[in-house]
Structure 1
Amino acid sequence: MEFNLTWILLGLPVAFVLGWLASRWDLRQVRADNRQAPKAYFKGLNFLLNEQQDKAIDAFIEAVQNDPDTSELHFALGNLFRRRGEYNRAVRVHEHLLSRGDLSRSDRDRAQHALAHDFLKAGLLDRAEDALRRLEGTAFEAEARLALLAIYERSRDWGQAAAIAGKMQQAGQGDFSTRLAHYLCEDAQTRMAQGQFDAARKLLEQALATAPQAPRPLLELAQLQQRCAQPAQALDTLENLARQAPASLPLAATLLVDVAQATGQQARVQGLLETQYRQAPSLDLLQALVALDQHIGVPDAPGRARLVQHLDHEPSLVAAAQWLQGETLAEEQYHPAVQKALDHAAKPLTRYRCAACGFEARQHFWHCPGCQSWDSYPARRVEEL
Structure 2
Amino acid sequence: MELDLTWILLGLPAAFALGWIASRMDLRQMRMANRQAPRAYFKGLNYLLNEQQDQAIDAFIEAVQNDPDTSELHFALGNLFRRRGEYDRAVRVHEHLLSRADISTADRQRAQHGLALDFLKAGLLDRAEEALRKLEGTAYEGQARLARMAIYERSREWPEAFAMAQLLETSGEANFGIRMAHYRCEQAREAVQQGDMDKAMDLLTQTLRKQPEAPRPRILLGQLQMNQGQAQTAYATLVGLFERNDTAAPLAAASFVKAAQACGMLEAARDVLQTHYLKQPCIDVLDAITALDHALQADPASLHSAASERYLNHLQKQPSLMAATRWLMGDREGSADLPAPVQKALEHATKPLARYRCAACGFEAKEHFWHCPGCQAWDSYPPRRVEEL
Cα distance, 1:2 vs. partner?
Answer: 10
- How many correspondences in the alignment? 383
Query: Which runs of structure 1 show a deviation greater than 4 angstroms over 4 or more consecutive aligned residues?
Result: 1-16, 326-329
Deviation (angstroms), 1:338: 2.4
Q: Structure 1 CA distance, aligned partners of 2:159 and 2:278?
A: 41
Q: 1:233 to 1:9 in 2, by over 3 A?
A: closer
Structure 1 gaps, min length 5: none
Alignment of 1:196-215 (within 5 A): 196-215=196-215
TM-score (norm 2): 0.93
**Structure 2 counterparts to residues 99-110 of structure 1, below 5 A:** 99-110=99-110
Cα distance change of structure 1 residues 328 and 32 upon mapping to structure 2, 3 Å threshold: same
Distance 2:54 2:317 in 1: 59
Residue matched to 1:350: 354
Is residue 372 of structure 2 the alignment partner of residue 368 of structure 1? yes
Distance change in 2, residues 1:244/1:192 (3 Å): farther
The separation in 2 between residues aligned to 1:190 and 1:219, in whole angstroms, is 16
* CA shift in 2, pair 1:7/1:177, >3 Å: closer
Q: Which residue of 1 aligns with 2:46?
A: 46
TM, length-normalised to structure 1:
0.94
Q: Secondary structure of 2:351's match?
A: helix
In 1, are the aligned partners of 2:305 and 2:331 still within 8 Å (CA)?
A: no
Cα distance in 2, alignment partners of residues 19 and 247 from structure 1 = 84
In the TM superposition, residue 152 of structure 1 has moved relative to its aligned partner by 0.8
Which residue among 304, 314, 321 is the counterpart of 2:318? 314
* Preserved CA contact (<8 Å) 2:308 2:328: no
Distance 1:314 1:32, change over 3 A: same
Deviation readout 1:37-57 (Å, 9 max, x if unpaired)? 111111111111111111110
Shift in Å at residue 194 of structure 1?
Answer: 1.6
- Map of 2:160 onto structure 1: 160
Match of 1:384 in 2: 388
> In the alignment, is residue 114 of structure 1 matched against residue 117 of structure 2?
no
- Is 1:180–1:210's contact at 8 Å kept on the other side of the alignment? no
Following superposition of structure 1 onto structure 2, how do residues 1-385 of structure 1 map, counting pairs within 5 Å? 13-296=13-296, 297-299=298-300, 300-327=304-331, 335-385=339-389
Shift of 1:249: 1.6
Secondary structure of 2:160 counterpart: helix
CA contact (8 A) 2:239 2:256 kept: no
What is the DSSP-based 3-state SS (H/G/I as helix, E as strand, rest coil) of the residue aligned with 2:132? helix
Whether contact under 8 Å (1:213, 1:245) holds in the other structure is no
The CA distance in 2 between the partners of 1:144 and 1:49, in whole Å, is 29
Q: What one-letter code is carried by the residue in structure 2 that aligns with 1:340?
A: K
Unpaired runs of 5+ in structure 2?
none
Shift of 1:176: 1.2
Displacement after TM superposition at 1:333 (Å) = 9.0
For 2:339, what is the secondary structure of its paired residue?
Answer: helix
Q: Which moved more, 1:3-12 or 1:68-77?
A: 3-12
Tell me how far 1:304 sits from its aligned partner.
2.1
Instruction: Tell me if the contact between 1:246 and 1:276 (Cα under 8 Å) persists in the aligned partners.
Output: no
Q: Give a deviation string over 1:155-189, Cα, whole Å, max 9, x none.
A: 11110011111111111111111111111111111
Report how far residue 5 of structure 1 moved.
6.8
Shift of 1:328: 5.2
Structure 1 Cα separation of the partners of residues 54 and 331 of structure 2: 67
Distance (whole Å) between structure 2 residues aligned to residue 268 and residue 6 of structure 1: 123
Answer whether contact 1:125 1:151 (CA < 8 A) is retained.
Answer: yes
Q: Does the CA-based 8 Å contact 1:221-1:234 persist in structure 2?
A: yes
Deviations 1:331-355 (CA, angstroms, capped at 9, x unpaired): x998222222222221111111222
SS at match of 2:248: helix
| Distance (Å, rounded) in 2 between the aligned partners of 1:251 and 1:373 | 19
Closer, same or farther in 2 for the Cα pair 1:195/1:13, shift >3 Å?
A: closer
Moved more, 264-273 or 157-166: 264-273
1:211-233 Cα deviation digits (max 9, x unpaired): 11111111111101100011111
C-alpha separation between the residues in 2 aligned to 1:71 and 1:178?
Answer: 41
Q: Percent identity?
A: 62
